[in-house]
A and B are shown apart, each in its own frame.
Chain A
């Protein structure tokens, strides 16, 4: 058993009885033993300090990793809470104003329909074919009559793109949105037309119907209209900006 072993036994309380008494007697008379005891005590305390330093460093890293550095609030002093409350109020009002003033998808569609579908142009050549009859009925506000006329025309000539477009517009004005979307979609599938507004009209009809997936679908359609340079490209750009 070396000196540190003995000191260890004594200071941890494992040494008892006569051994303990003998150790204490040696300590009084043996300067070298006293020196070893002093070193033992110092070494343990120094180790504790260094271990604590290590733990502090670990915890500091842990704290910094857990959260971004906190800005001390005391820099703002007594104004911290009133300023924070004021900032929240301004933000709330700002967001409220912004969202309340943003037109809805339906309102955008309504604006387009009002501007473009209230009156349809009639050719001035005096023809009295079914297409012109339907358009006149439409312009006179006889939407049911126009619907029947375009329907009859399509039964006779399913490939009549003008009739299909007009039928879609009538369906949209009459509130038959599902039918309007289907008709505009059929029109958009035609690849033999010089100008085909089918995709753009379908987007407008979806915005008007405004079911859960209609708005994102309409956005995709409008994007396609722009990227494919289709009929309605300019209007599509304006609508997309406001959606």
Chain B
């Protein structure tokens, strides 16, 4: 699906995000722009600073994108209502914490989904290994990885398929992209250990 620059409906935006690149990124940006006025409302209604509200709003958009990609957004309410509810909750969280989660790696991590796929006996072992790991150092190591490797790993983290990564980064096939991605993962592990 190639999108024009006309004003997209909620359905168009959701379809575009699900379609993957290049439409996904365009639709994500359009979604962000469409309700960016929430930031101003947040400053007035919740008496937060503009930066805090903008941070809460970005978190909201990321959550909604994640919910769309994972099927958690079921379309029972319209996108604006859904987004506004999440934004309000995040603003309330900000008021409670009086701090942002920008600098914290752990707060933003949600590894439960991946661990849930493991059998019970293995899950606790892997969970303990993760808990004992230095996540901050891994975060820093990822930043020092070569540009192409880092782009590839970040795209994988965002949920892009190997086929989409191949198109984004100019690989001939998804298989080649996958091989490169796994090599990059090994490089990251070697630099981490």
Contacts and interface: CB of A to CB of B under 8 A. Distances in A.
A73 interface: yes
B117 A11 contact: yes
Contacts of B62: 52, 55-56
A40 to B, nearest CB: 7
B3 interface: no
Given A52-B108, A70-B43, A44 B157 contact: yes
A74 B154 CA distance: 38
The residue among B44, B111, B115, B129 with the most chain A CB atoms within 10 A of its own CB is B129
A66 B36 contact: yes
Nearest to B51: A60
B170 to A, nearest CB: 19
A151 B118 CA distance: 112
Interface in A60-117: 60, 62-63, 66, 69-70, 72-74
A45 B55 contact: no
Interface stretch (A27-35, A188-196, A225-233): A27-35
B139 interface: yes
B153 interface: yes
A10 B142 CA distance: 24
Contacts of A40: 185
A66 B33 contact: yes
Interface residues of A, number: 42
A62 B139 contact: no
Interface in B1-49: 28-29, 32-33, 36, 39-40, 43-44, 47, 49
Interface string B90-115: 00000000000010010011110011
A243 interface: no
A35 B49 CA distance: 43
A48 interface: yes
B182 interface: yes
B33 A43 contact: no
The secondary structure that dominates the A interface is helix
Contacts of B61: 59
A122 interface: no
A27 B118 contact: yes
Contacts of B50: 69-70, 72
A46 interface: yes
Contacts, number: 137
Given A24-B119, A62-B29, A70-B43, A34 B129 contact: yes
Nearest to A55: B62
B148 to A, nearest CB: 14
A38 B133 contact: yes
Contacts of A41: 111, 114-115, 126, 130
A42 B178 CA distance: 18
Interface string B123-142: 00110011001010011001
B88 interface: no
A74 B11 CA distance: 35
Given A60-B58, A66-B36, A24 B139 contact: no
Interface of A: 2, 4-5, 8, 10-11, 13, 24, 27-28, 34-35, 37-56, 59-60, 62-63, 66, 69-70, 72-74
Interface of B: 28-29, 32-33, 36, 39-40, 43-44, 47, 49-50, 54-55, 58-59, 61-62, 102, 105, 108-111, 114-115, 117-119, 121-122, 125-126, 129-130, 133, 135, 138-139, 142-143, 153-159, 178, 182, 185-186, 188-189, 192
Given A43-B188, A49-B139, A55-B58, 17 more contacts: A4-B182, A4-B185, A8-B182, A27-B118, A34-B125, A34-B126, A34-B129, A41-B126, A42-B138, A43-B189, A44-B157, A45-B157, A47-B157, A52-B62, A55-B62, A59-B32, A69-B50
